[in-house]
Each structure stands twice: as structure tokens, then as C-alpha cells.
Amino acid sequence: MLRILLFLGTNIAIMLVLSISLSLLGINGYLKETGGIDMTALLIFSAVFGMGGSFISLALSKWMAKKSMGVRLIESPQNPDEQWLLSTVEWQAREAGIGMPEVGIFDSPEPNAFATGMSKNSSLVAVSSGLLQTMTRDEVEAVLGHEISHIANGDMVTLTLVQGVVNTFVIFFSRVIGHLIDRVVFKVERGYGPGYWIGVIFVQMILSILASMIVMWFSRYREYRADAGGAHLSGRIKMIAALKRLQQSSNASALPDEMAAFGITGEKKINFQKLFMSHPPLEERIAALENSQP
């Protein structure tokens, strides 16, 4: 219920902020003089499509993860390792105050793990076969603590809200700017000409790039929090050791794009590309833990 209220409240807040901002800047009056835009309808359209698309993706996230990653759920443990995995997740979930997630394994030689799901009590934690093969139990425990912390922090829902907010702004302002281009530059008096559609597409591309930078910044920020949570659940030394083990992997994340933000590690990028990283560099995460209070 709280998440539904948060969703509705965010939509209302976006609409109020946009309405007030446009009125203060005098854009509302100018738009009316140049053929007009039904601002209320555009705001609702932008919020519904901007927020709605993000929440549909969140609602389907567990199903998509299982299908795209080929996750095999551990329902009846087949060996001591699987039993230990279930027991560890159960203990950490209890400590974190969340419901028991589904636990699964996906085939990948790269050490990785991810968490997803629409709520704290309906989530999924999955680890790669490579992670189980290359890490000690202490290191795996730390990785599991990191993923459990993502769930306990509500990171999946919060990231969805952030994505929805920026999507709303992108949809709204691209159409407002497209309208102004059509009326001011191309002098179209009625309806919409090519200038509007070209403007919308171009502006939406530019704003989407800026929006991605904002979303990725937040994604990097929450990784530090999840590392701290993993250190709290399993121990700081174990969390640092796990990150150092991941550092030894020379390849980039084996997760598909739609799941990359929810993994324990992300792709390695350089220079300007770092602005689009979903995860901070491992050396920076290790340093943050090493400099934190024991």
C-alpha cells in the first residue's frame, strides 16, 4: 500500500512542479498564444507513460530475469551447497527484516549475482555458477548480503521511481520544445508539421542521454549502500574480500542490459563512458569499505 501511495504521490508531485515551473517562466501563456497545448492532458500523458512503463518493467522483472538468464530456482536443495545457499539467504533476509526471496542459480562462467522483484517480500536473488565455483563461502555470503541489502533498501522500486520521473520529464519537455520549434521556426499555425516530429525525436534523444546519466548516478550511489549493507550482514572483511575477488575477473558483466543495474558488478568503462556506468569502479567500492568505520 505504501508503495502505491508513493507512486501516486510522485506522479502528482511531478505534475505540480511542471505546472508551477511553466507558469512562473511564462511558457504557459506563450504556448496558448502559439496555438496552444493542453498542458493538463500532456502532463497526464507524460506521467502515465513515463511512470507506467517503468513500473510495468518492474512488475515483469522477476519473470524476465528467470527467462533471460535461465535461472533455476532452488526449491528442493540437491546438494549441501544449495542447502547452504538457501539457509544463508533465509538468515540474511530475517536479519534484514524482509520476506524470504526466491533463490536461484544461472549458468555463467563469470562470477556475478543479482536481485530483483517488485517488493521486499516478493523478490528473487540469483547467483551465477561461476560465482559459486570461484568464490569461498565467506565471499559468497558477502555477495548475498549485498543483494539482500538491495532488496531491504527498496532499491528496485526506488530506481524505478527515478527512471519514471526522468522519463516523464523527457516525454513532456520534448513535446513542448517540438511544439515551439514548429510554431516559431517553421511558422506552422495549425496542427503539426515535420518540424514538430523532428524536434520531438531529436530533443527526446538528447534528453534521454541526460536522463540516463542521472539514473546511472543514482544506481552507482545505491551500490555503495548495498556494499555497506553486505558488510553489516556478513562482515566488512568478507565484503572487501568478495569485491577483491570480483576485481580479478578480467571480463565485463555477463548480465544482459536490462539486468546489469541489479548485478553485483557492472561493465568496465573509461573516460566519458563512466557517466553511464551502473556500478562504481570496484577499486572505489573497496576503498569506501576500507575507509569506513569497522
* DSSP per-residue letters across 267-278: ----GGGGGG-S
Dist CA 294 CA 284 (whole Å): 17
Q: Mutual orientation of helices 194-234 and 137-152 as an angle, nearest 10°?
A: 130
pLDDT for the residue 2: 47
Looking at residue 252, what is its pLDDT? 47
Tell me, what DSSP letter sits at residue 75?
S
Residue 75 bears catalytic tag: no
Cα–Cα nearest to 233, from 117, 119, 150, 111 = 150
Strand partners, 102: 124
For 103, the enclosing helix (H) or strand (E) is strand 102-106
Supply the pLDDT for residue 238.
Answer: 96
Query: Residue-wise pLDDT tens for the chain (294 aa)?
Result: 444 455 455 555 555 555 555 555 555 454 445 455 777 777 778 888 888 878 888 888 888 888 888 999 999 999 999 999 999 999 999 999 999 999 999 999 989 999 998 889 999 999 999 999 999 999 999 999 999 999 999 998 888 888 888 888 888 888 888 888 887 777 766 767 788 888 888 998 999 899 889 999 999 999 999 999 999 999 999 999 999 999 887 554 556 655 665 567 666 655 667 788 888 999 999 999 999 876
In this prediction the pTM is 0.81
> In angstroms, what CA-CA distances link 218 with 44, 159, 224, 291?
25, 8, 10, 21
| Active-site residue identified among 110, 139, 147, 223 | 147
CA 214 to each of CA 110, 166, 210, 260: distance values in angstroms, whole numbers, following the listed order: 28, 8, 7, 16
Are the CB atoms for 171 and 211 separated by under 8 Å?
no
The pLDDT of residue 227 is: 96
Burial, 9: exposed, middle or buried (Cβ in 10 Å; 0-12, 13-18, 19+)? exposed
Q: Which of 67, 60, 209, 85 is nearest to 147 (CA)?
A: 85
What is the reported pLDDT for 104? 96
Q: What is the pLDDT of residue 161?
A: 85
Domain coordinates in residue numbering, the chain: 1-68+153-294
